[in-house]
A and B are shown apart, each in its own frame.
Chain A
Amino acid sequence: MPANRESRSVLIGAGAIVCACFLLAPIGIRGEYYLHVLANILFFAYMACAWNIVSGYTGQLSLGHSALGGIGGYVSTLLFIYLGLSPWLGMLVGGFTAMLVGVAIGFPCFRLRGPYFTLTTIAFAEILRIWVENTDEFMGLELRGAQGLLVPLKGNAPLLFQFDSKVSYYYVILVMLLMVAAVTWWMEQSRMGFYLKAIRADQDAAEALGINSTRYLLSAMALSSFLTAMGGSFYAQYFRYINPERNMGLDFSIEVALMGIVGGQGTVIGPILGAFLLTPAGEISRSLLGGKLMGLHLVIYGLVLVLAVMFLPKGLIEPIGRLFGSRRRRPTEAPAVRTAS
């Protein structure tokens, strides 16, 4: 359809401009702080996209993704400390570890209907967090409990994932975000994407058509776990510090899920949009109020979550998409990109 092709080329053009802006951003931005904030936003966008692959596309809500990220961070950091393995490789090992864990969590749950997956992810994440917080040493490895691990400093060593300036970290997370967006887009176009949407819309109907729903849900979970752990490794290397409360806590899981939900689950752009709106909001409320009102930013997050679920169930991407796409798409009967939850 020519109209569809036209709107697609507009989209690609807009995407290219946005990408170019981000590639050039470090030149225009003065001051490390703003670059740090931007890198932080990209990090959350990355995590929300990774979460979106399982929760957004299949409708199986995970509230334990922080644990998977934490596994990535801990595995890569421990390998670096004890074996001197470069975190570039360590993050892959962490990714595969989290993948195994993710599949182990998903397998008992995906065979069942109902909220089992959500319950299991949340229970797993909390138990892992509490265990790490209270474990100083495990099989000869020093976990240092609630204090967390420090990544040993090696100066400017790009091969060991350590850079002098924030600019390099910024580019690393930007490339990671583009990569996860590309993977999501590829998955959406592939057979698996269509299967996942069918499962999300009606699991019984999908199975009646011969889709092995457990298998595809597990594949989505494996991919999502792997990518989330890579993000967790990046976080540990970027801050050179990892601790269970921040990196494995429920707050973090909810923050990431919230960005996906507010932006628009089950879309490529939605979670990125959500991260760009909510990360600065959290950052501002934290820096303005400082330590005066503990928990205020989480109250705001809770309110946003309640309001989004009530009034914008498909996320912000929907009204925005309507603004741009409706005129062009309607005559061609837009493909069922988003299925009602």
Chain B
Amino acid sequence: MDPIILGIAVVNGILLGGLYGAVALGLSLIFGVMRVINFAHGTFLMIGLFIPFWTWQLFGLNPYVAVVIAAPALFLLGYAIQSVIIAPLFERERAMVLEPLSVLLLTAGIGLILDNLALMAFGPSVRGVQMPFASKTLWIGEMLNINYARLMAFLVSIAIAVGLTLFLSRSDLGRSIRSTAQNRDAAALCGINVRQVYNITFGLGCAILGVIGCFMVPFYYVSPTVGLSFGIRSFITVVLGGIGSIPGSILGGLILGVVESVAGQFVTATSASIFSFVIFILVLLFRPTGLMGMKV
């Protein structure tokens, strides 16, 4: 195989992988703190893509600027869903089980509702944002070119991961979140409002998708069903990297991106996704805590 083509595939895979990792961050964060797999995760990304699309379509707003709308909107949406719908169930079940399966079902139901409401409102058509910036590329040497919009999305993804790590390790709120993740009851005894922490965590997990959506929309399509494939990639990513680990999530995303991109050079893109599933199963078999996960 031509090393230059392979190099391009690897670079594209890394750019895409950073994005996958950042998309999975919210899922990982919510699971790490609440022990809940959010099945509506892809749906929130879909909303995070539609907000900048519509502000661009209706008001001509630059998608990068739309972050100031999309991120708070998704934070509020996540906060509201957690505090109104999920929290009561959580209270009822927490005495009985550690990882409430019914919460998982509940989020699946929420995803189903929101996905299909979007389908009813916007129809199944595939849309996209046209930006002159998105078609420009950065040339490295003669052969290797990198799309600016993709590079931007990659850099923002890394920035989000670094920012989240700093937030969790340095700020008071971050410490509350981490202590709640370690031991819910002990945190409550120390005066932390656990329910509030859960609401904020869920909101934060969704807000990340609002940011990502704005940086993804210049080079990615928007449709009501776009969330599903990203939701599934996020599950694979977090299991690969280790559920609850921020660097693990990025690493898992990078692996997934490079595998998809390189395998896509040899087989069709859809068959390439089978490779990522095989890796997923192998990790479950031999290192179930994930590459960077700690033993729970």
Contacts and interface: CB of A to CB of B under 8 A. Distances in A.
Do chains A and B interact in one complex?
yes
A324 interface: no
A299 B104 contact: no
A309 B281 contact: no
A260 B158 CA distance: 42
Contacts of B224: 295
B179 interface: no
B171 interface: no
Given A108-B284, A123-B280, A127-B274, A294 B106 contact: no
A186 B149 CA distance: 60
A305 B288 contact: no
Given A118-B37, A120-B280, A127-B274, A296 B112 contact: no
A150 B111 CA distance: 33
Contacts of B97: 341
A217 to B, nearest CB: 14
Nearest to A251: B112
B37 A303 contact: no
Contacts of B99: 113-115
Contacts of A111: 288
Interface string A80-115: 000000000000000000000000000111011111
B112 A305 contact: yes
Given A127-B277, A131-B271, A341-B102, A295 B109 contact: no
Interface string B268-280: 1011011001001
Interface in A207-228: none
B288 A116 contact: yes
Residue among B106, B109, B115 with most chain A CB within 10 A: B109
Contacts, number: 120
Given A122-B232, A299-B117, A131 B96 contact: no
Given A123-B232, A302-B116, A341 B88 contact: no
B124 interface: yes
B189 interface: no
B65 interface: no
B105 A301 contact: no
Contact of B116 (A261, A296, A310): A296
A124 interface: yes
A130 B232 CA distance: 12
A293 B85 CA distance: 26
B183 interface: no
Contact of A130 (B109, B117, B124, B273): B273
Nearest to A104: B281
B106 A298 contact: no
Given A115-B99, A126-B229, A296-B120, A305 B105 contact: yes
A295 B119 contact: yes
A131 B112 contact: no
A122 B124 CA distance: 22
Interface in B224-241: 224, 228-229, 232, 235-236, 239
A176 interface: no
Contacts of B106: 305-306, 309-310
Given A108-B284, A108-B285, A131-B271, A261 B105 contact: yes
A299 B284 contact: no
Contact of A309 (B109, B239, B274): B109
Contact of B274 (A118, A122, A131, A301): A131
A134 interface: yes
Interface in B243-277: 243, 268, 270-271, 273-274, 277
Contacts of A205: none
Given A122-B235, A250-B228, A294-B119, A108 B89 contact: no
Contacts of B228: 126, 250
A61 B273 contact: no
Interface string A275-306: 00000000000000000011110110111011
Contacts of B89: 309-310
Nearest to A133: B270
Interface in B71-106: 85, 88-89, 96-97, 99, 101-102, 104-106
A230 interface: no
A116 B271 contact: no
A254 interface: yes
A157 to B, nearest CB: 36
A313 interface: yes
B163 interface: no
B108 A254 contact: yes
B153 to A, nearest CB: 23
A294 to B, nearest CB: 5
A266 interface: no
Given A126-B229, A130-B270, A303 B109 contact: yes
Contacts of A120: 280-281, 284
Contacts of B108: 63, 254, 305
A147 B216 CA distance: 31
A54 B284 CA distance: 20
Nearest to B123: A294
A299 B117 CA distance: 7
A340 interface: yes
Interface of B: 37, 85, 88-89, 96-97, 99, 101-102, 104-106, 108-113, 115-117, 119-120, 123-124, 224, 228-229, 232, 235-236, 239, 243, 268, 270-271, 273-274, 277, 280-281, 284-285, 288
Interface of A: 59, 61, 63, 107-109, 111-116, 118-120, 122-124, 126-127, 130-131, 133-135, 250, 254, 261, 293-296, 298-299, 301-303, 305-306, 309-310, 313, 340-341
17 contacts: A63-B108, A115-B101, A123-B235, A123-B277, A127-B232, A130-B273, A131-B274, A254-B108, A294-B116, A295-B115, A295-B117, A305-B109, A306-B85, A309-B106, A310-B106, A313-B102, A341-B101
